[in-house]
Each structure stands twice: as C-alpha cells, then as structure tokens.
Chains A and B, each alone.
Chain A
C-alpha cells in the first residue's frame, strides 16, 4: 500500500469528506465499517429503488466537484431508459495545477469513494465502473486497489452484492501523463485505447459515453459526497453550504502560505481571506498580490477580491470561477510575468494538438513570454500576448484552449504596469534570476541570447 498522503487540517467538527482527519486509519475497512462504513450501501440495497437514490442526490443539490459544478443528480437523470449496458466512470485524473484533493480522498478515505461508486452504479443500474486515475497516482492506485479487494472480500462488490441480486465490478485504469485526459470526452477516448483527445459533444456521455453506451462520469470528490447524502438525507446535507452551493468542498491551498494543504469547508461560509488565514497566512506575512481560485485555469483575482465568499456564485460574480477550488496564493514577492509564463507553459505542454487555435496560440503565447522573461521584450509584446489570447477565445475545440487564455488576459488586465516595469528594467537581455530555468528549457543559451526557433521547454515529451 502506498504511503498515506494528506494534510490533517481540522476545519470542521466532523468532516464529511476528509474523514481521515477525524478518524485515524479510516482507510482500513474495519475502521471504516465501525464508522458507518457501507451503511448507505446497505440502506440503498435494502430500502431504496435506484430512482430513490437519484432523487435524494438531486434533492441534496450536490454539484460536480471536477470543475464545472453541474448538478450531479440531474446528470444521472439524463441516462436514457432501456439502453444497456451502462457504465460509471470516475474521473481521478486530477491534473489541474494546484489540485490535490482527490489524492487525499483516495489515499486517506478510499472506502467512502468506493461506496460512492457503488451507489452511483446502483442508481443508474450500471454493472461496471472504471476509475480513471492519472498515471502518477500509481501509489494511490495501489491503496485503492487494496481497498477494492477488501470490499470484494466482504461482499460489498462483486456478484449478487449482499444478496440483493445486483452485480457490480470496479476496475482501475491508469492514465499516463496528459492533463487533457481529465476532460471527460478525452478521458473516455483514452480509456477506450484511443488518443486522449476530446470528442464533439453532443452526444453527451450520458447518452453515448464509454463504448458508445450511456455513461455517468463524475469526479472523485463528487462521488465521495454520495454515501453521507444517501445515509443521512438531503436535508442533512443542506445544513452545509448555501441554497445554490450546498454541501462542503475541499479547498486545496498552495503557494505562498505557511500551511498549504487541504481544507474542507462548508461552501459559502468563509471568504478567500479567511481561507488564507486558516492556511497560516502568507509566508513572512507579506501582502497578497493575487489568488488563482482554480489553478492555472481560472482568471487571477487581485487582492481587492479577498473578501469574496467561497462558493460557485460568489467567485463567478468576482470575475473568476470556483472550478476545482485549487487556490494558489501569490504574494508581493512573486513576479507576475514569471507566474503567467509558468501557466502558459503548462497549457503549451498540455495542448493535445487537435485544433490549430490552441496548438498555435499556446506556442506563440509561450514564445512571447520567453522573450519578455529573458529580457528581450518590448511593450508591444504585451499587446501581442493579449492579441494571441483573443484570437484563441471562442475558437478552440475544447475548454483547455479557453483556459489557456485566462492567465494571459487576466494577468495583463490586473497587472499591466508590472509587465511594463519588468520589460523596462530588463532591456537588452539583461541577466536576471530566471537564467537557470530559461537555459534548462532551451529558451536562452549560456550567454543569455534567445535561441531562435527553440521549441519551448525540453520536457518529458522529448524522452
């Protein structure tokens, strides 16, 4: 079994998801069983019809935790009647920069995920579930596989579970390093053994998903919510969160704070400022420069937005999104041009290459950042970056391309003077603190000259 990963930040009397914070060793099946484990599963199989499970999840108002926030019960309801087999696919690709919540659920509380998968299978009458985990989750996958094996041995998974006549199997499928495989249609392609590239929607996976069969696809954290909802009911669940954003959510806090980690909180109760305080405040108590609420994919929020409440609607009203709630905190020591380049580099690396605006836009975007960061930029390059991003907007095949524009556009919008100051201070290729990484990535040579025609960083792809 892989080593336990996770932060033990006690933020609630009783956690709903990160129960490993409250209960030591809840990853072990006997400990889980002693704490209501598989009670929801028993309850569903003995007292509920599949539609009852869908109904309680609908009533709970649970929204998808993978990024889009779509109501989970509603999605399950889209599965067409009378088409079989159906599949449940669990999205454990967790590759958005700054996101590490599913990692802790899988490692620390795997049975709650398994129970959620089982309940979902029952709700939509699927007999097979695939858990797609990013390839780097090799150790968490071992932990989860061991937990699945235990659940089989106790009769919770397999043929005729608990004498109900319902058969269900759970298989793990490991990815192999590609952010785009977190996008649900790309994930399905990857799982089918094709290139992990997005497909046209519609048809949506609920209608034609895995192997062209009706498929429910949900994020790991989403499904971990299902057992407590089924066990305690929708009203109980709604004691947490707001009317439109019910429940608790795991907030991943990283970057320039003293205690980075996972913090489970009721949605809408606290502000970004309070979240940063929970994480110990910034390193050396520096002023916050900006916050990325959903890793690289969401527009940056300036310090003036720190009093925004932590829920879907409030973040949107503030000009960003809650997404996967991976809060990357930047303080005033961070060079915004450097930070933006890191994010653009991510998208350049992760663009699947299927469509031109994204493939070319991320390439040219990165080239412009290379030019500026290596001290060869001009003020016109700032407008050029904005132009590249605007050209991409609305023209990309999937949301990755759209995400890629947000570090460019939002940092220029809020921090344009800083771009200008950096360019002015580093004219003529003056050496700066970024030489080492730029040389490593093949952007400049040892003398500080831009390498003409370099193809971006040397990465894992070149091996």
Chain B
C-alpha cells in the first residue's frame, strides 16, 4: 500500500501565497534565503540540547533542592527542642549510615548531589537566559517602543524576577554556607556548636534582616519555580491542573518561607537563647 504524506493543515499553503505577495512588496527577498527544514536523522541529539530539555533539567535539579530545603527546615525547627537536641541532630547527620558508610558519608552524598543540582540548575538557567535574550534582541518583555503595559497582561512578580531572584538566592547560599555551615563568617562569635552559631548570629539585627530578605527572594523563586518545574516536565495537563499546580507552588513557597523564618525571628525576639 502506498503511503502519502498529507499536509494536515492549510496554513502552510496559505502562507506560501502570503509569502509570495510579500516578495512582490520587497523584491530583494528571494526564496533562496528560506531556511532549510530538517526532518529525520539527528533529531534525538538535537533534542538533547533543546530548550525543552534544559527546562526539564532545571525542573529536576530544582525539585531536588526543594526536597533538601524541606528536610533542612525540619532540622532548623529542632531549635525549639533545645541545644542538645539541635546539636544532637547535627551529630546524627554525621553519624547516620555508620558503619556501612564512613562517618559523614551520608552528609557527603547529600552535599555532592546538591552541588551537582546547583551547578546544573545554574548552567541551564544561564543557557536559557542567553537564548531568551537572543530571541528578544536583548530586551525581553521591554522590546516595544511604547511604555504602556510594560508588565504585560497577567504575569506575576514572581515570574519575571526568576533570573535575578535566582542570582540573589545563589549569593545568599554562599554567604549562608560561610556563616552557619563553615563558621567562617561569624557575626556574634564563632562556635563549634551549630545551636550556638545560630543564636550568636541571629541576635544581630542585620544578620536577621539579610536572612529575611534572602528568604523572601527564595519564596518568590519557589512560588513560580515549583509550578514551572511541574509544567516543564509535562505535568500541566488541563486548565484545572494549571490552577492546582499554582496552588501547590504557593503552599510550598509559604511553607518554606515561614518555616525558615521562624528560627531567626524567635532567636532575635529572645524566646530561644
């Protein structure tokens, strides 16, 4: 049986007419310039560099970091159980898995997974940022001469601050690791006790303020990021699902924002010392 390829849609044909009309208008454009469409071979390897795949990579690495944040937030809230419980949890994270794994083995596995996630996330973000600048002559949503409706029709604050907001969160993570993890930046005094490091740091107003600002930036990043991650992975399957995923993202962002804000604020208020 012979197989024929049938054009499924009339537009290609209509547009061909439109194109020839335009050629009459501007005779310097010839068919010779028309880009070649390639089908068939090499599509898989090209798709591995596609924006769709880069977004999927961002989604997966981002969701891994969200899972880490939820666990980290749980650990921080142990501050309410007192110094021993908090420092004991820190010690537990180092011992867990022994003797199957060496001491701090699990911790290092988590650190390596997170490091890979962060690097991959940043690589994809900058590659896509570059592509989107190229696709808008470097001006993004501000490429029109008019100054009216520059914020578009419906886009949210969270959605158009993803890139710079991500940079802010990234810088915060470096500062934060130097502070509470490495004990290298130690406002209020260094200590071998993680509990004491937090109390020392969060007794100072500007330390608390820096965390509050960074966490709000993180909250916005997650508000759009969590929804976008599921949509990039193919999870947005209907108008109702779009609403549901956005609600989920709001819940996750608020949970993480509030959960992380509680320890610095209660320490600053003097309720935990």
| A and B from one complex | no
